[in-house]
Amino acid sequence: MSLDLSLYDKIFENRVRLQIMSVLMANEEYDFSSLKDLLDVTDGNLASNLKALEKEQYIEVYKSFVDRKPNTRYKKTMKGKSAFEKHLSALEKLINHVK
């Protein structure tokens, strides 16, 4: 019985990070307040999980001003995209193994 989870990435062992990466996989970029609304999480929860992904270089941060208000946008990196795809394929293998 293969239980190979070698592609499983501990960084994604978290609901909010799974959701953040899903959004960034499906979009070119996404800003902080839109992410916060979409995921329905607190500023602190979102910020700490974005920080963890940034620290791994799985996402990149872009700061600018929109109508003179600070705007922070996030994008996936190639490294993040690849790591997340591997993590999902590990989970998918586990799911198919159980079903």
In whole angstroms, the minimum distance from the beta carbon of 60 to its own copies comes to 19
Binding footprint of its own copies on the chain (CB under 8 A): 1, 3, 5, 8, 10, 13-15, 18-19, 21-23, 25-26, 38-39, 84, 88, 91-92, 94-95, 97-99
Cβ closer to its own copies: 15 or 51?
15
Beta bridge partners of 66: 69
In whole angstroms, the minimum distance from the beta carbon of 26 to its own copies comes to 6
| 31 DSSP 8-state letter | E
In whole angstroms, the minimum distance from the beta carbon of 25 to its own copies comes to 5
Between the alpha carbon of residue 40 and those of residues 9, 20, 34, 97, the distances in Å are: 24, 11, 10, 32
Between the alpha carbon of residue 96 and those of residues 8, 14, 38, the distances in Å are: 15, 21, 29
